[in-house]
Structures are given as C-alpha cells and as structure tokens.
Amino acid sequence: MYSSITDRKIRVAIVGCGRISKNHFTAIEKYADTLELVSLCESNSMILLEHQERYGVPGYRLLEEMLKTEKIDLIVLCTPSGLHANQTIQAAHYGVNVMTEKPMATRWHDGVNMVKACDEARVRLFVVKQNRRNATLQLLKRAVEKNRFGRIYMVNINVFWARPQEYYDSAKWRGTWEFDGGAFMNQASHYVDLVDWLIGPVESLQAYTGTLARNIEVEDTGVVSIKWRSGALGSMNVTMLTYPKNLEGSITIIGEKGTVRVGGLAVNEIQHWEFSESDPDDENVKTANYATTSVYGFGHPLYYKNVIDVLHRKAEPETDGREGLRSLEMLIATYISSRDGKRVSLPLEY
C-alpha cells in the first residue's frame, strides 16, 4: 500500500537547478498551501548557493547526503537524463517518491529498473509529460476518445526547432549518448509521447537519424516511419537545425470522418479542425489556442495538481513510470532501427 500525506504539507526537494527547474519552482510556489520546498541538490557550487539564497532552504551537492539528512516526501529530478535511473533508485531506497523530467532514462533497462525499484519500495514514480495537459491536446485527446475521426488513416508529427552549437557547448553532458540523447530523446521527447497516448500502440517503425551540422555524439536530425497496430500509418520528422529559430511543433491526424492539425511553436494552435459530425467541443477550439514563447508550454502546474492528488490518495497518476516506459520504448526502438538499418517491431523484450 502506498502511503498518503493528508495532515501536513508535502515536503519537496529539487535535484538539479538548471533551465527546466524554473518551471518546477514556479509550480511549487503556486501550490504553496500544499507543497513545501525543503531542500535543494546541485553539483555546481555557485548555482547551488544562488538558489539557496533565493529560496532559503538547505542545499547539498550530494544526493545521498540530502536523502540521509532531510525529511523528504518527493524529489524532483531536473538533472541530465542519464542520471535519472541511479537517482531514482537511491530515492526509492530511502522511501522517497520521485518525479522525473523527460526522458525518464537514456537506456531501456534503466527505465525498467526505475519502475522495479519504486514498485519494491512502494513509492510513486511520476514521469513529467506536461504537454498532455495543454488545452489544445486535451481537446484532441477527447476527439480521439469519442471516435470522432472514425478510423485513423495517417498521422504526421513535425518538430522543427533550432539548437545552436552554443546550446550543446553550454554543458559537457549535452549532446552525449550517456547523459542526454539526441533530438528525438531530448527535444522531441514530448512529441514521441503523443504517438502512443493519442493514437495507440505502435506495431513497428523504421528510422533514419543523422548528425548533419552540430559537433555532438547524438543526432541533430531524424525521420521515423510508423505503423500502428490499428493499421494507421505515419511519420515523425525532427530537426534541431531550423534557421534561424524554432519554427514548428505540430501533429496532423487524418481520419475517416475528421482531419485536425495542431501546430504553432509547440502544439499551441489548433490550425485545422473539421469533422463530419458536430460536437460541443467544437465551440472550445478558439479558446484552447494560446500564445507561447516557450516550447515547454504551461502544463507543469497542471501536472503538479495530479501529483498532489495522487499523494493525497484522491487520484491515480496520469503518467507514472510504466506510462513513461511507453515513450522510452519507442525512443529506444528508433535508435535501434537507425543503427541497424532495419524495421523494429514493438514491444521490445523486457
């Protein structure tokens, strides 16, 4: 039985104070009546000191030391992806729930081991998929669930963003296989999540990836052709080489009785919405669109709401470790396909 926290605030610690951590600090502040930031962990001494002073909580350079010293209910991993597995397993050993940024891991067996460790310790493992909470994608999800498309024939996902060499040079771990992963695993991870969440299980895929312009270990560009178990066909096209800046994050679904395109910088604009039969949700299309200057969207606070409800025993997790494995499985299959030059069938062997 998972423990519940109902008689006090949920004690949260942030691990890693890099660029994505801002979204988490903001979400914790929004739910200050329910959440309490109690400590920080960051390997860079200057960044750690800066955040300690800003938030007035103890700081640690070593996760083990923080877990031994502080009373924590939930740690939030904003660290390089390749570190998530060991850090999750450490936290589970101390009986601490874990929320990890995407991707949950860079290796398939690491992701599986994270789920096993948290299961055995009876702690929660949450994998952040905040884009699912965006109003545009919530409308699209409902349209699929209501079978408004009829049979889905084709799906196309584009992620045309820009990451200059300076981005990869800003930290040693960026652009490495061990800690980061490439354009699919890091930047396009949330879009990979849409493949299964919206359309359903994938039967097989064939991928090509390339490092065309950046001085990095991993791919800066790639394409993958997808066949779903439903028979639907589709593709995903990803590049970090768009000139001169981020251009598009989109999904187009073509079905028997409907066609939808959600585009913009980060699936924030419903650009085409047409079905053979009307539905009350059609009135919400214009209000679902939102302006954004960030590819992260605004879903983190909404994601935290579910986490709080789960820890209060009021809800089930929207994206737990097993749900996180679904997109990790496709990512690993994509890399295997590109490396070996072959079609890869899913599911992968556990």
pLDDT of residue 296: 54
pLDDT of residue 297: 55
Number of neighbours of residue 316 by Cβ within 10 angstroms: 9
In order of 58, 106, 136, 345, the CA distances from 349 in angstroms are 43, 16, 34, 10
pLDDT of residue 291: 78
Question: Could you tell me the two tokens for 34?
Answer: 């329910």
Residues in a beta bridge with 41: 15, 60
- End-to-end distance of the chain based on CA atoms, in angstroms? 25
**pTM for this model (two decimals):** 0.93
Q: Give the strands of the sheet with 202-210, arranged side by side.
A: 269-275, 258-263, 248-255, 152-160, 233-239, 221-228, 202-210, 344-345
Torsion of CA 194, 199, 203, 206, to 10 degrees: -50
pLDDT of residue 299: 80
Instruction: Give the start-end residues of each E strand in 42-120.
Output: 59-60, 74-77, 97-100
pLDDT of residue 31: 97
**Which of 91, 92, 30 shows the shortest CA–CA distance to 303?**
30
Q: Which residues of the chain fall below pLDDT 70? A: 292-298, 350
pLDDT of residue 293: 60
Number of neighbours of residue 43 by Cβ within 10 angstroms: 15
Residues in a beta bridge with 5: none
Nearest-angstrom CA–CA distance, 217 and 211: 8
pLDDT of residue 290: 86
Q: Are strands 10-15 and 74-77 parallel, antiparallel or unpaired?
A: parallel
pLDDT of residue 281: 97
Helix axes 108-121, 321-340, angle to 10 degrees: 160
